[in-house]
Amino acid sequence: MTPLPPAPGQGPATVALVATTAEVLAHPELDERLLAPWERRRLAGIRVPGRRDDVVAARLLLRLCASRVTGLPPDAVEPAQRCPGCGRDGHGRPYLPDHPELGVSYSHADGLAAAAVGPGPVGIDVEPLTRRPGPLAVLRRVLPEDEVDAARAGPDPGPALLRLWVRREALFKAGFEAGRDDVRLTAWTDHRRAAVVALAGADGAPAPLLSSGPAPPSGR
């Protein structure tokens, strides 16, 4: 797989990848051994094997995105994490110490992984299409109330609320407040993987939204 060339005169574009955990773990460029010792130590604390695989997949997918943006091979990508709450390393917001100009985000959920790397802050979230966020009291607290009410009044409230939730998560991960209108926020349904995905970024350029399999993202 060849990295995407940067768009002329614009620097790198955002690369976002969505895949099933199984697809990532079977990817020829990716291997759990790419993970750093501190990441593997954290994995040791995850008791549920499926969840462990999801975390591995998301962290590997992040390396693949960074590889495509920077042109470096995935094993030369060294992400770090720092917590904005306690200031400690090893958890919290991911970043690339060697590429402070690039934003980094990843997400995982039952059998799914997503990652994004691009200029400026980025946030990505993936959830299974069948997930129903809730309870309503929580949704009302973290989502714009009018949008929650509109989604509930619509013909398909479950998917509509899930879409709102995923968008909010992507914004939150990018570090944006809800309601900002200068943020590019794209949400789509990956039907082949039964996933809902949202990508938030501030790069202002059209972001190529790539699935790592043959099926392009569909819907909005």
Residues of the shown chain interacting with Zn ion in the complex, contacts defined by CB under 5 A: 83, 85-86
Closest CA to 97 of 118, 77, 72: 77
Q: Measured from the CB of residue 93, what is the shortest distance to Zn ion in angstroms?
A: 10
Residue 175 main-chain phi, psi, to 5 deg:
90, 15
Closer CB to Zn ion, 86 or 137, in the complex:
86
Q: Measured from the CB of residue 90, what is the shortest distance to Zn ion in angstroms?
A: 9
Q: Measured from the CB of residue 87, what is the shortest distance to Zn ion in angstroms?
A: 7
Closer CB to Zn ion, 59 or 193, in the complex:
59
Residue nearest to Zn ion (CB): 83
Sign of CA dihedral 145, 153, 134, 171: negative
Q: Measured from the CB of residue 96, what is the shortest distance to Zn ion in angstroms?
A: 19
Closer CB to Zn ion, 123 or 217, in the complex:
123
CB distance 11 to 70 below 8 Å? no
What is each CA distance from 179 to 143, 163, 183, in whole angstroms? 10, 15, 9
Closer CB to Zn ion, 83 or 215, in the complex:
83
* Other CB atoms within 10 A of residue 100 CB: 8
